[in-house]
Chains A and B, each alone.
Chain A
Amino acid sequence: MALYSDKVMDHFRNPRNVGVIEDADGVGEAGNPVCGDIMKIYLKIDNDTISDVKFETFGCGSAIASSSMATELIKGKPVEEAASLTNKAVTEALDGLPAHKLHCSVLAEEAIRAALKDYYDRHGIAYDENRFAAAIDCAHCHDAMPN
Chain B
Amino acid sequence: MIYADNAATTKMSETAINAMLPYMNEIYGNPSSLYSFGQQAKEELEKARTRVAACLGCDPKEITFTSGGSEADNQAIFTAAKYGERKGKKHIISTAFEHHAVLHTLERLKKQGFEITLLDVHKNGVIDPSQVAEAIREDTCLVTIMYANNEIGTIQPIEEIGKICREKNVLFHTDAVQAAGHLHINVKEQNIDMLSLSAHKFHGPKGIGVLYAKRGIILDTLINGGAQERGKRAGTENLPAIMGMAAALEEACAGIDNYSEKLTALRDRLIEGLDKIPYGELNGDREKRLPGNVNFCFEGIEGESLLLLLDDKGICASSGSACTSGSLDPSHVLLAIGRPHEVAHGSLRLTIGEDTTEEDIDYMIEAVTEVVTYLRNMSPFWRDLTTGKRTHVFAK
Number of interface residues of A (CB under 8 A): 28
Asked whether, in the complex, the Cβ of B302 is within 8 Å of the Cβ of A34, the reply is no
Which of B152-160, B279-287, B375-383 lies at the binding interface?
Answer: B375-383
Partner of B380, one of A12, A57, A100: A57
How far, in whole Å, are A61 and B308 apart by their CA atoms in the complex? 7
**Is A59 close to B, CB under 8 A?**
yes
As a 0/1 sequence over residues 87 to 119 of chain A, the CB contacts with chain B under 8 angstroms (1 = contact) are 000000000000011000000000000000000
Instruction: Give B328-374 interface residues, CB cut-off 8 Å to A.
Output: 328, 330, 340-342, 345
Which of B14-22, B122-130, B183-191, B318-326 lies at the binding interface?
Answer: B318-326
**Is A56 close to B, CB under 8 A?**
yes
A-to-B contact residues, CB < 8 Å? 9, 12-13, 15, 18-19, 29, 33-40, 56-61, 63-64, 100-101, 141-142, 145
Tell me the number of A-to-B contacts counted with CB atoms below 8 Å. Answer: 72
Partner of A57, one of B322, B324, B378, B390: B378
Contacts of B305 in A (CB 8 A): 12, 59-61, 63-64
Contacts of A61 in B (CB 8 A): 304-305, 308, 323
Instruction: Give B299-326 interface residues, CB cut-off 8 Å to A.
Output: 300-305, 308-309, 312, 321-324, 326
- In order of increasing CB-CB distance, the 5 nearest A-B pairs are A33-B342, A60-B304, A60-B323, A58-B381, A36-B345
Contacts of A38 in B (CB 8 A): 379-381
B-to-A contact residues, CB < 8 Å? 300-305, 308-309, 312, 321-324, 326-328, 330, 340-342, 345, 378-383, 390
Contacts of B330 in A (CB 8 A): 36
Asked whether, in the complex, the Cβ of A64 is within 8 Å of the Cβ of B380, the reply is no
Partner of B378, one of A18, A33, A60, A142: A18
Residue of A nearest to B390 (CB): A33
Asked whether, in the complex, the Cβ of B326 is within 8 Å of the Cβ of A100, the reply is yes
Asked whether, in the complex, the Cβ of A36 is within 8 Å of the Cβ of B321, the reply is yes
How far, in whole Å, are A37 and B378 apart by their CA atoms in the complex? 12
Contacts of A40 in B (CB 8 A): 380
Taking each of B304, B324, B327, which has the highest tally of chain A beta carbons within 10 Å of its own beta carbon?
B304
Chain A nearest CB, measured from B124 CB (Å): 24
Asked whether, in the complex, the Cβ of A12 is within 8 Å of the Cβ of B308, the reply is yes
Contacts of A37 in B (CB 8 A): 302
Contacts of A58 in B (CB 8 A): 300-302, 379-382
Enumerate 30 A-B pairs (CB-CB under 8 Å) in ascending A order.
A9-B308, A18-B378, A33-B342, A33-B345, A33-B390, A34-B341, A34-B342, A35-B341, A36-B302, A36-B321, A36-B341, A36-B345, A38-B380, A38-B381, A56-B379, A57-B378, A57-B380, A58-B302, A58-B379, A58-B380, A58-B382, A59-B305, A60-B303, A60-B321, A60-B324, A61-B305, A61-B308, A64-B378, A100-B326, A145-B328
Q: Known: A36-B341, A40-B380, A141-B328. Is A13-B304 also a contact (CB below 8 A)?
A: no
Contacts of B345 in A (CB 8 A): 33, 36
Contacts of B326 in A (CB 8 A): 100
Residue of B nearest to A4 (CB): B308
Chain A nearest CB, measured from B52 CB (Å): 35
Q: Known: A13-B312, A56-B378. Is A36-B322 also a contact (CB below 8 A)?
A: yes
How far, in whole Å, are A56 and B341 apart by their CA atoms in the complex? 20
Q: Known: A61-B304, A100-B326. Is A39-B380 also a contact (CB below 8 A)?
A: yes
Taking each of B342, B378, B390, which has the highest tally of chain A beta carbons within 10 Å of its own beta carbon?
B378
Taking each of A15, A37, A58, A63, which has the highest tally of chain B beta carbons within 10 Å of its own beta carbon?
A58
Taking each of B327, B340, B341, which has the highest tally of chain A beta carbons within 10 Å of its own beta carbon?
B341
Residue of A nearest to B342 (CB): A33
How far, in whole Å, are A142 and B327 apart by their CA atoms in the complex? 10
Contacts of B323 in A (CB 8 A): 36, 59-61, 101
Contacts of B379 in A (CB 8 A): 38, 56-58
Contacts of A29 in B (CB 8 A): 380
